[in-house]
Amino acid sequence: MKRFLLTAFIVFSALFPQAALLAQHEPAPDTAPPEDDYIIGPGDILFVSVWKDQAMTQTVPVRPDGKISFPLIGEIQAGGRSVAQVKEEMEGKISRYVPDPVLTVGIHEIRSLLIYVIGRVNSPGRFAVYTRIDVLQALATAGGCNPFADTKNIRVFRKSGNKTLMMDFNYNDVSTGKNLDQNILLERGDVIVVP
């Protein structure tokens, strides 16, 4: 089998040398989460490392209460804060035990950026996304509107403190280039209702 694959690769490379070059020079897609402005949420997993200390290099889950636990530091609030804010607090606390710490904090996995699409779409449900998306992208993620949907009266519901905001979305207008300001970027927990 290995011999067959090697022969197939050689024949393919001989017939299509440009494809081999493109494959070598194609840049890798940018899959790293936007850590500068991303707000950490419950369920996310952080990567924390203290340079030259393997025992203090680990992935740390953000608990439902938004807190994380780390050796020597104890508990700190991570939910609702940026990576830079969490790193700054951790450096301050760990410097009592480790002189001149070189601390790395990053997002290992995003699990808290959830949106919900319900109603007359082909695949309604809860969707975990790895970057912020807009309403059109969310509808596409849910398989698009079904033929019985009232695409002129879609609504987006967003929790803001103790209030729920409601925003209108007219799919017919937005998809033809009108009222593009309705195609807002969604936030964690937004619910799209397609009547």
pLDDT 10s digits, 58-117: 999 999 999 999 988 999 999 999 999 999 999 999 988 888 888 999 999 989 999 999
> What per-residue string of b and e applies to 96-125 under the rule 16 or more CB within 10 Å gives b?
eebeebebebebeebbbbebbbebbbeebe
d(CA 21, CA 70): 46
Domain architecture of the chain: domains with CATH: 45-109 (3.30.1950.10), 114-194 (3.10.560.10)
pLDDT 10s digits, 115-171: 999 999 999 999 998 888 999 999 999 999 999 999 999 999 999 889 999 999 999
* Residue type, position 105, single letter: V
d(CA 57, CA 54): 5
Q: 127, 141 in Cβ contact below 8 A? A: yes
